[in-house]
Amino acid sequence: MRFWFKRCPRCRQGDLQGESDSYGSYIACMQCGYILSTGQEALLLGIRQAEEEPAPARQQAAA
């Protein structure tokens, strides 16, 4: 179980706690109950989200 003190983006004073239930793991504020989105979790954990790669250029067949 991990904790982040005074890091809640909603109430600004709440402590965040990593939790899990039958649907999966998540991070929630212990004071106000706010649940972070996946993007907010990635920022908090320092994870870079996968950048979309450009579609490869189609090669034209020689006629």
| Separation of alpha carbons 30 and 4, rounded Å | 10
Residues forming beta bridges with residue 16, ordered by sequence position: 4, 29
In this prediction the pTM is 0.71
Q: Is residue 63 part of a domain?
A: no
Residues 6+ apart with CB under 8 A from 16: 3, 4, 7, 8, 27, 28, 29, 30, 36, 44
Domain that residue 7 falls in? 3-45
Q: How many structural domains are present in the chain?
A: 1
Q: Is residue 52 part of a domain?
A: no
Q: Is residue 21 part of a domain?
A: yes
pLDDT in tens, the chain (63 residues): 799 999 999 999 999 999 999 999 999 999 999 999 999 999 998 887 555 455 566 666 655
Return the SS3 of 16: strand
